[in-house]
Structure 1
Amino acid sequence: MSQRETWATRVGFILAAVGSAVGLGNIWQFPFQTGANGGAAFIVVYLAAVFLIGFPAMLAEFVVGRRAERNPIDAFARLGHRNWKIVGVLGTLSAFWILSFYSVVGGWVVRYVLGSATGAYFSGSEAYFGAISAGPEAVGFHAVFMALTVGVVALGVTDGIERSTKLMVPSIVILLGGLAVWAGTLEGGAAGYAYYLSPDVDVLLANLGSILPAAVGQAFFTLSLGMGAMITYASYLGRDDSLPVDGATIVVLNTFVGLLAGLVVFPILFSLGIEPGSGGLGAAFITLAGAFAQLPAGRFLGVGFFVVLLLAALSSAISLLEVVTTYLVDNTDRSRSTLAVALGAAIFALGVPSALGVPILSWYNAIAYNLLLPLSVLTLLLFVGWADTDDAVAELRRGTDLSEGGAVAWLWFVRTLVPLGVLATLLLGLQSLAVKAGLLAAPLV
């Protein structure tokens, strides 16, 4: 068995975890989910989900990962709870599943960086998306994106993941911030800010049954929860790092980037009279590419935006591949590079159907959002809250001045309110899947 790696610096861990969180979920999914679920009404529920559900759940993943110093599957046996191994299996399965279609979307991003530089989509953004989003070309760029991801993971934790995310995460923030400043100068953009930042209570109350699972699923997706990523990254941590401080830093930075993405997207859409939420999973590509085609310096702006999207996509994809790679690194004598290549090939194969049709990719995405992620997070919370209580409290307090009362309050939250919220989300998500499959004519709630 090969020697287990660790982070070279604490900053490296934080940026890697932020990079895992700040991915396509923030810039691809977040504006679409916001636009499709009532704008600022969605933001209110999303922010509540991030801080009341996502943050406590992230700390739960951290305490498991750092104490076990193992991959998500082996962590529970290492902690003396072999019967809870299913929790790690669910997380690893989720990472494998999500990366398979995530890589397809990453391939779209690579294609759009090139298309922005040449102006290829300027004559018709919808037709361009239809041409490149499915079929042999989509499969080819799916392979390109997966190869980039494999290349970084194969280099290892310090030389690959830590070094790359130290470059990518600051670049994402700087480029996105520049685009947000520019978007603020657009005529008509004020309506976009109003839609994005002024919640309508009536919309919120009337659509809470659909907004809640979308918002909680978005929180899990953007924070990389339920995928084994935070367990894996915490397993490389030193014993003296403060988990609450690191977790809070990651959550705040991730949320800031997600909100910043909205400050770019919605002023652009409203300045050009484009309906928010239109375009489905291709919204960021169809609507924004169409916007860049109509704006001065559109090629330059398009390249800048899609480079940000590519960096974000890669930083998250790296963490997902690391989840499944670290299991084999911990349990075989094969080299990391060999394992990363083999797993990358398997994930690529699983994703090929979603590269052949956007409706198939939509199903992959719906299964992840509505079933795999909430189920994985729920089982982890039950483990930490009810089976590993004393050790979890002690691990959370290690390396910090957090009082025992504060840690116990967190544990109470993890074992009661947070699982109830996740359970409600899971049930509503299953309802959404049933409606999507035609098993229900309309939502019951």
Structure 2
Amino acid sequence: MGIADAPREQWATRVGFIFAAVGSAVGLGNIWRFPFQVGQEGGAAFLLIYLLFIAIIGFPAMLVEFVVGRYTERNPVGALEEIASGVWSYVGWIFIATGFIILSYYSVVAGWTIRYTLLGLQDGYLADAGEAESQFVSLASGLDAILLHALFMAVVIGIVAYGIQRGIELAVKVMVPAIIVITVGMAAYAFTLEGASEAYAYYLSPDWGVIAAEWQSILPAAAGQAFFTLSLGMGVMITYASYLAQDRNLAEDGAIIIGFDTAIAFVTGLIVFPILFTAGIDPADPGAGAIFVSLAAAFGDLTLGWLLGTIFFGTVAIAALSSAISLMEVVVSYVIDERGVDRKVAAVAIGGAIFLLGIPSATDLVLLDLFDLFADQILLVLGGLLLSILVGWSLSDLAIAELGRGTGDLGAYGTAWIWAVRIPVILVLIVALILGILEYWEFLTGPFAEWLGDL
């Protein structure tokens, strides 16, 4: 027990909370991960399954995290210790570990976005795909990547250190509107490119044969992406909801957040794929760096591509920052709530530890994939699954009552939500977790084993 009974910070406005949650969701998950996941998993086939998962498991699971956070007014560890007993009380540690690991390599990728923004200002994008790949490999690991990782983490630490209202809320009120305006403007520009019609066919017309043949790969990837992009399974929504007043309509706020997040992810596809198809680049190139290689080559081939690339990667950097501060807040809130540590001290200490954990990801792309696959396809899904089982089957009355605060009697809607958590959410997450573990094992015995053999 730390200082859980001390006066707790709250969001100054509803808009501040929504922008913070949207900012957390609208980050690298939408603009970095989403396009290369779509490319790797068959285009519109993945998009369709992803959108279904957002509706079927994303929205109900988000409300699970909201009710736990607001009811307890605690961080994930403190929240689970308050509402659960036995081994269930330790589930919160999964969320803390997930946020900690994700931010360690997330910050490295965010550093890439800063580097590519500067590269655009120098008119340094290379049109040849092979040269662009070599350029990425040289920039994405080593001292340059470590320094940018350090710079990004320093900014995150600074914002989180100033607290909820003066730090996070103030920052996202600037960043989120900027992200929305820029992405819509870039999508309008991409519509004018000559490869737009072919790109839209690839992105928007599902190939049912691909779904039938590749569902074992598409299912865990789509489930992991849905959780990643909505900041579920990592404790962010539990933590952010813990700063909410009791009269907020959680279902309404959740729908707004998911609507914004999904729309921006979708619009990002309307930007990226026309650019790739216009430049004649295959969108299915695999790997965490695929979108940097492919887009940099495309920008190098377009008139005024340096300007377009600067704007695009700059937007990604802003989005990455809005998400990173939420991941940092999860761990910092635990240290503040349970250990009584001053916020500024907690931010510096936790940020420093995350930076150190991220150094391996900044030195080799295989190690980044090692962390990414483990967090995305196992930890995220595991945390969401266990919390859904606990709330759906053991704490349903408490959860329905908490969801009804600020809205009145939910009636049949509350019952429908709990059964959505109990059956489709849990079943989909169980299947996704099993397939994710199998895919991670393939990585360990394949690319990672080869990497170890080359040492």
If the length of structure 1 is used for normalisation, what is the TM-score? 0.97
Q: Aligned AA for 2:100?
A: F
4+ runs of 1 displaced by more than 6 Å?
Answer: none
Q: Does 1:7 align with 2:11?
A: yes
Alignment of 1:226-375 (within 5 A): 226-375=233-382
User: What's the counterpart of residue 443 of structure 1?
Assistant: none
- Are positions 1:107 and 2:114 aligned together? no
Q: Give SS of 1:371's match.
A: helix
Per-residue deviation, 1:277: 2.2
* Equivalent position amino acid for 1:40 in 2: A
Match of 2:57 in 1: 53
Counterpart of 1:224? 231
Question: Which residue identity lines up with residue 232 of structure 1 in the other structure?
Answer: T
CA drift of 1:439 comes to: 7.8
Cα deviation, 1:276-329, whole Å, max 9, x if unaligned, reads 121521122111111111111122111100111001100110000000000011
| Cross-structure match for 1:405 | 412
> Given the alignment of the two structures, is residue 212 of structure 1 paired with residue 219 of structure 2, yes or no?
yes
Equivalent-residue separation in structure 1 for 2:409 and 2:370 (angstroms): 43
* One-letter amino acid of the structure 1 residue matched with residue 151 of structure 2: V
- Paired letter, 1:116: G
1:118 to 107, 117, 122: 122
Residue type of the alignment partner of 1:63: V
Q: Could you tell me whether the CA contact under 8 Å between 1:292 and 1:299 is conserved in 2?
A: yes
- Describe the SS at the equivalent of 1:406: helix
**Count of residues in correspondence between the two structures:** 440
- The answer for the alignment partner of 1:155 in structure 2 is 162
CA deviation profile, 1:384-424 (whole Å, cap 9, x unmatched): 01121111010111111462211011111111221011000
Q: What is the distance in 1 between the residues matched to 2:194 and 2:424? A: 44
Matched, 1:95 2:102: no
Q: Distance in 1 between matches of 2:331 and 2:89?
A: 15
Partner of 1:193: 200
- Runs of at least 5 residues in structure 1 that lack an aligned partner in the other structure: 441-445
Whether the aligned pair in 2 keeps the contact of 1:72 and 1:92 (CA below 8 Å) is: yes
* Structure 1 range deviating more: 298-307 or 233-242: 298-307
Q: Does 1:68 align with 2:75?
A: no
Counterparts in 2 of 1:181 and 1:281: CA distance versus 1, 3 Å = same
CA distance in structure 1 between the aligned counterparts of 2:303 and 2:408, rounded to whole angstroms:
53
Indicate conservation of the 8 Å contact 2:233/2:383, yes or no.
yes
Kept in 1, the 8 Å contact 2:40–2:286? The answer is: no
**Structure 2 CA distance for aligned equivalents of residues 119 and 279 of structure 1:** 26
Q: Distance in 2 between matches of 1:70 and 1:81?
A: 16
- Provide TM-score, normalisation by structure 2: 0.94
Asked whether the equivalents of residues 117 and 309 of structure 2 are also in contact (C-alpha less than 8 Å), the reply is yes
How far apart in 1 are the matches of 2:410 and 2:368? 46
The secondary structure found in structure 2 opposite 1:56 is: helix
| 8 A contact 1:76–1:82 mirrored in 2 | no
* Residue 25 of structure 1 pairs with residue 29 of structure 2: yes
Residues 439 and 191 (structure 1), Cα distance of their counterparts in 2 relative to 1, 3 Å cut: closer
Q: Distance in 2 between matches of 1:279 and 1:221?
A: 18
Q: CA contact under 8 A between 1:65 and 1:71: conserved in structure 2?
A: yes
Distance 2:269 2:34 in 1: 8
Q: Distance in 2 between matches of 1:364 and 1:333?
A: 30
Identity fraction in percent: 50
Unaligned runs of 5+ in 2: 448-455
Deviation at 1:80, TM superposition (A): 5.5
RMSD: 1.4
Which of 161, 166, 179 is residue 172 of structure 1 equivalent to? Answer: 179
- Return closer, same or farther for 1:421/1:80 CA change in 2, 3 Å cut-off: closer
Which stretch shows the higher mean deviation, 94-103 or 328-337?
Answer: 328-337
2:82 corresponds, among 64, 68, 78, to 78
